[in-house]
Chain A
Amino acid sequence: KAGVTQTPRYLIKTRGQQVTLSCSPISGHRSVSWYQQTPGQGLQFLFEYFSETQRNKGNFPGRFSGRQFSNSRSEMNVSTLELGDSALYLCASRVGTGNEKLFFGSGTQLSVL
């Protein structure tokens, strides 16, 4: 079974631009979560989607948004990029809600210049 796939692996953008990151979960997994990882703040929860609906949301500004498609693939969008958005963005999938086992992808490293 293929693991969680995130694309692209690396991304360089400039301030003010917007970016879209993609995550394909493990086959059969219906829940996708997104995390931001930075050296200073560590891993912070962004949001979780289940069956195309956002279930949980972390404490991030509205510039961070996401969606999930009917095939469970998820995208995360960041608009009006700021330097502080430079981070590793990790996606994790699990079978469904109530199941605590998360499987992570290798992340997208976003650099904002």
Chain B
Amino acid sequence: AQTVTQSQPEMSVQEAETVTLSCTYDTSESNYYLFWYKQPPSRQMILVIRQEAYKQQNATENRFSVNFQKAAKSFSLKISDSQLGDTAMYFCACYISQGGSEKLVFGKGTKLTVNP
């Protein structure tokens, strides 16, 4: 079974600083996608960044970047120049397509607070 683990239930960072959220996953599939979603108090899940497993290059979206270590099955999110609006729950997720069945498995989330 596929699992996604986020070992940091809560984190905090000062505005303008950098923070890294950890995620590890377990799958036997060779082709999959990894995501980081942000869930602010409005509750809507917002896609932050996406990584294809077959790509070695780490994905980057403005202030957000990932460190994808395929062999270690690690997928961490780095937020640079943290802003107050980054305060939210962050979920790591793994999408797998296998034999006609597709599944998106989420971690338990990390609550990030950006302090002024």
Contact = CB atoms under 8 A, between A and B. Distances in A.
Interface residues on B, range: 20 to 34
A102 B43 CA distance: 15
A88 B43 contact: yes
Contacts, number: 47
Given A42-B109, A43-B91, A102 B44 contact: no
Interface of A: 3, 33, 35, 42-43, 45, 48, 55-56, 88, 90, 92, 97-98, 100-107, 109
Given A43-B106, A106-B43, 13 more contacts: A3-B44, A42-B91, A42-B108, A45-B105, A48-B102, A56-B102, A98-B97, A98-B102, A100-B97, A100-B102, A104-B45, A107-B44, A109-B43
B78 interface: no
Which of A43, A45, A103, A106 has the most C-beta atoms of chain B within 10 angstroms of its own C-beta? A43
Nearest to A33: B104
Given A92-B45, A106-B42, A56 B103 contact: yes
A57 to B, nearest CB: 10
B64 interface: no
A106 B44 contact: yes
Contact of A42 (B46, B47, B50, B106): B106
